[in-house]
Structures are given as structure tokens and as C-alpha cells.
């Protein structure tokens, strides 16, 4: 029900970030290490581990 209300009345809520967004990046000199990192990062995100970490430390 709340999602339905938010859909039709999105202006009544003002959001405040608990943790400000971070614009970070990773750079590599070694192509092989970069490729390994990208593969593991993809697996991490596919398994929704990032969501589990956020839920554990911040909540749902």
C-alpha cells in the first residue's frame, strides 16, 4: 500500500542520505589483474552480496 501511495504522492517525501554517495573508481596498471577484478566484482554483484552488506550494516 505504501508503494502505491509513494507512486501517486512522491512530492510529500524528502529523502536524506544517511551515507553520502561516493564517486570512487579503481584503476589497474596490469590488464590481467583488472580482468580478474572485474570478473570477481561481477560475481559479487550478481550474487547480490552488496545488498546483503548494506542490509547488515544499514538495514532494509
Q: How confident is the model at residue 8 (pLDDT cuts 50, 70, 90)?
A: low
3 state SS of 38: helix
Dist CA 40 CA 46 (whole Å)? 10
Give the model's pLDDT for residue 25.
Answer: 87
Dist CA 23 CA 1 (whole Å)? 34
Q: Read off the pLDDT of residues 9-60 as tens digits, 9 standing for 90 and up.
A: 656 667 777 878 888 888 999 999 999 999 999 999 999 998 888 888 887 7
pTM listed for this prediction: 0.52
Q: HSE (CB half, 13 Å, CA atoms) of 33? A: 5
Amino acid at each position: 500500500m505504501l508503494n502505491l501511495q509513494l507512486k501517486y504522492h512522491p512530492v510529500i517525501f524528502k529523502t536524506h542520505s544517511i551515507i553520502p554517495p561516493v564517486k570512487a573508481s579503481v584503476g589497474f596498471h596490469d590488464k590481467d589483474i583488472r580482468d580478474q577484478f572485474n570478473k570477481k566484482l561481477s560475481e559479487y554483484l550478481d550474487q547480490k552480496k552488496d545488498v546483503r552488506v548494506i542490509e547488515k550494516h544499514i538495514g532494509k
